[in-house]
Amino acid sequence: MKKIINSNYFYAFIALCCALWLFFYVSSPGVGSTRDSNQSNTSTVTKKTTISVPLQLQADVDKYYITGYPETVKITIEGPSALVTATKNTQNFNLYLNLKDLSVGQHRVQIKESGLNSELTYSIKPKYVTVNIQHRETKKFDVDVDYNQDSLATGYETGKVEVSPETVTVTGAATEIEKIAKVIVKPILPKGIKSTFDQEVLVQALDKNGKTVNVTLDPQTVHVKIPISIQSKQVSINLKQKGTSSSTTSNLSVTSDVKTIRVYGTQDQIDAIDSSVDVPVDVSDVNGNTKKSINLSDALGNKVAFTDPDTIDVSISTGSSSSSSSNNSSNSNNTSTNTTNSSTSDNNTSSSNDNSTDDNSEQ
């Protein structure tokens, strides 16, 4: 046995067994080729994704105006993960409508694709669309401005409205262009606005019923400037008594330290006012010297929008102090007269007594 183990044939046999074992180990499925297996699994993984893609037209758009189709459509693609990802990122394919051989009118057309990899499957939503093909027409229109005058603060007016540009180009189906009654902008003025309105405003094409017409406007917005201001004038004031005082009115007077005011209003209101205005002062409740605060807007009514100052202080004098002095002087004179009369009466009495004494002596 020892002789067999030490022989060269024994070692050769052992080496052969080891070689065979290594061969079968390496060749076994799932062993020794993990990397290649992972690569193979990766390449066979599928993925699905949905993309929004612009819809293109194959038609003579210079001659025809086409409506009814969506600007974008959704396409769902499915296939190898890496290919789906690359397609989503690059979007190197097209979705289109072939309208070249279609006449004027409505048509139901299938959306088609080009440039999509053949390894991918896809579905388009919507699959069909209805388009309206009409002869194309382009026309220029002046832009009108329509705004609410009631939004202006009291007394304020608008000047000449400026629109830039003053005209816009309208493109659409000939039948739609014929429906246009006017092209306008409708600026929305804040309630009580007192300063110039200056903004970009959306342009609209309207039919005779005020409904929007389906056309393309260029430009879609215009610049609108509406000057807003109020007129004013410096005038003097004339204080006028109103009503009858319970006091003697012959000596009643009304005065104020304010001699002139500035009045504000529309151009028509300012033009209707002279260089002076009458301010009524109610004296019906006056019993003596007093002061009043007069609200000029109330006093002038709808003649103006407002004034500066808005109120003035007036002094009302009834002349009661001088009347009291006259009464006191009269009373003094009456007292003096009475005293004199009394003195005269006393003298007369004394004289009578003296005469009586003399008569008695003679007897």
Q: CB-based contacts of 229: which residues, under 8 Å, 6+ apart? A: 156, 157, 159, 196
Phi/psi zone of residue 32: left (φ > 0), alpha (ψ -120 to 50 degrees), beta?
left
CATH superfamily of 230-316: YbbR-like domain (2.170.120.40)
- What residue segments make up the domains of the chain, in order of their start? 44-134, 142-225, 230-316
pLDDT in tens, the chain (363 residues): 555 555 666 677 777 777 777 777 656 554 444 444 454 454 568 999 999 999 999 999 889 999 999 999 999 999 999 999 999 999 999 999 999 999 999 999 999 999 999 999 999 999 999 999 999 999 999 999 999 999 999 999 999 999 999 999 999 999 999 999 999 999 999 999 999 999 999 999 999 999 999 999 999 999 999 999 999 999 999 888 887 766 555 577 888 889 999 999 999 999 998 898 889 888 888 877 888 888 888 888 888 999 999 899 998 887 654 433 334 433 444 433 343 343 434 444 333 334 333 443 333
Rounded to whole angstroms, how far apart are CA atoms 67 and 59? 12
The reply to whether 142-225 shares the fold of 44-134 is yes
User: Per CATH, which fold does 142-225 belong to?
Assistant: RNA Polymerase Alpha Subunit; Chain A, domain 2 (2.170.120)
Measured distance CA(117)–CA(115) in Å, rounded: 6
CATH fold label, 44-134: RNA Polymerase Alpha Subunit; Chain A, domain 2 (2.170.120)
Query: What is the C-alpha separation between 351 and 183, in angstroms, rounded?
Result: 120
b/e 34-66 (16+ beta carbons within 10 angstroms → b) = eeeeeeeeeeeeeeeeebebebebebeeeebbb
With beta carbons less than 8 A apart as the criterion, state whether 82 and 61 touch: no
Q: pTM for the full model?
A: 0.61
Q: Which residues pair with 163 in a beta bridge?
A: 224
